[in-house]
Amino acid sequence: MALTPSNGTTSTTSFDYDIIVVGGGPAGLCAGLYASRARLTTLVIDKAVPGGQILNTHLIEDYPGFMSIEGSELAARMQEQAEHFGAEVIMADVESVRSTGEGGVVKVVQTTERNYTARAVILTAGGSPVKLDVPGEDRLNARGVSYCAVCDGPFFNDRVLAVVGGGDAAVEEATYLTKYASKVILIHRRDQLRAQKIIQDRFFANPKSAVIWDSVVEEITGEGSVTGVRVRNVKSGETSTIDVGGVFIFIGFQPNGDILADTGVNRDHGGHIVTTMNMETGIPGIFAAGDVRAQLARQVTTAVGDATTAAIAAEKYIEAMHPVG
């Protein structure tokens, strides 16, 4: 595809695609849908089966239009819709994204197998909750182990729940879970929480709240679903098993922003990419959407909202910088 600069001259620069979307979760598939529907050649790259974090969610009840839908089914529908409008979806491991050529007009997406070029890139690489790395965690993921209270809290009505962590996110999510649980036990490795005092006060004021101090989770127990957690007191060394119907883990979230590490793109203290309201990263032609960028909430609805904006902004960028004749 030849490049026609906005000054009307012709360049021999060619591109594999108009837009490359890096990441195949809800944000990536939505960006692929909007870009391809705008008649832009579009490639969506994900290192695994498209779907992202929603593949770890059994049922989704808070996505408009569906009373409930399995995460895997929603991902499949999103992929099918994007491909229907012409998006190409592949599995590959992306190592970096960079700008080259005069004025940085060529975006190069480097994978372990080959390089792809595009007029614009939308980074929707998401991120991953930091795991405890204890026995039972992976085996019981989505079977009582969760990393999202808003997503999964309603499935745990009248159960005793454990929340692991001591920062703002852990205490806020523990408070949120008291809406559904019969009791919420916060497990923290220290003798005081790191969360803001006002957030702590709100949690402790709830009659359903409890805390196990100076303790770490060493195992999550259960066969088909979570039945308990084995905890160890870090001071005494004593261990005990607590009967719970679910475990919510909030010890951190790691965005996959290192793909842009060598570009100088601005990131916050947590590693999230900082964008404008139009999802611009500060590097012309590179946009970011979804969990990889700094934002208030990590939800499917916010991810697709970001992606919609990013795709439209990328289209306008291409029109302004590389009009197609």
With tokens 């079977």, the residue in question is: 143
Give the pTM: 0.75
Which of 295, 302, 303, 269 is closest to 123 using CA atoms? 303
The CATH number for 2-128+253-321, chosen from 3.40.50.1220, 1.10.287.1080, 3.40.50.12780, 3.50.50.60, is 3.50.50.60
DSSP state of 103: G
The domain ranges of the chain are: 2-128+253-321, 145-249
Provide long-range contacts, Cβ within 8 A and 24+ apart, for 55-59: 56/141, 56/142, 56/147, 57/142, 57/148, 57/151, 57/152, 58/142, 58/143, 58/155, 59/155
- Find the largest Cα–Cα distance for the chain: 75
Six-digit token pair at 121?
């890139």
- How far is C-alpha 180 from the geometric centre of its chain's CA atoms? 24
A 10 A CB-CB count for 193 gives: 21
CB distance 37 to 85 below 8 Å: yes
pLDDT at site 61: 81
Structure letter (DSSP) for residue 310: H
Apex CA 240: angle with CA 234 and CA 244, to 5°?
115
What are the φ and ψ backbone dihedral angles of 82, each rounded to 5 degrees? -60, -45
Q: Rounded distance, CA 168 to CA 224, Å?
A: 31
User: Which residues does 276 contact at the CB level (< 8 Å), separation at least 6?
Assistant: 282
Bridge partner residues of 91 (DSSP): 46
CATH fold match for the domains 2-128+253-321 and 145-249:
yes
Virtual CA dihedral for 55, 58, 61, 63, nearest 10 degrees? 10
Q: How would you classify the pairing of strands 17-22 and 42-46?
A: parallel
Separation between Cα atoms, residue 40 and residue 38, nearest integer Å: 6
Span 101-129, pLDDT tens digits: 888 899 999 999 999 999 999 999 988 88
Work out whether strand 115-123 and strand 17-22 pair parallel, antiparallel, or are unpaired. parallel
Q: Which residues are catalytic?
A: 148, 151-152
Q: What is the mean pLDDT of each run of 10 residues along the chain (325 residues)?
A: 39 83 96 98 94 78 88 94 97 93 89 96 92 97 92 93 94 94 98 94 97 98 97 97 97 87 85 94 95 86 96 96 59
At 10 the pLDDT is 39
Cα distances (Å, whole numbers) of residue 174 to 19, 68, 132, 153, 203: 40, 23, 17, 10, 7
Q: Which helix (H) or strand (E) holds 311?
A: helix 300-321
- For residue 294, give the nearest of 263, 270, 278 by alpha carbon: 270
Which two three-digit tokens encode residue 283? Answer: 């590097």
CATH top class, domain 145-249: alpha beta
User: What pLDDT score does 13 carry?
Assistant: 66
For the beta carbon of residue 56, count every other beta carbon within 10 angstroms: 19
Report the alpha-carbon distance of residue 72 to residue 41 in Å, rounded.
26
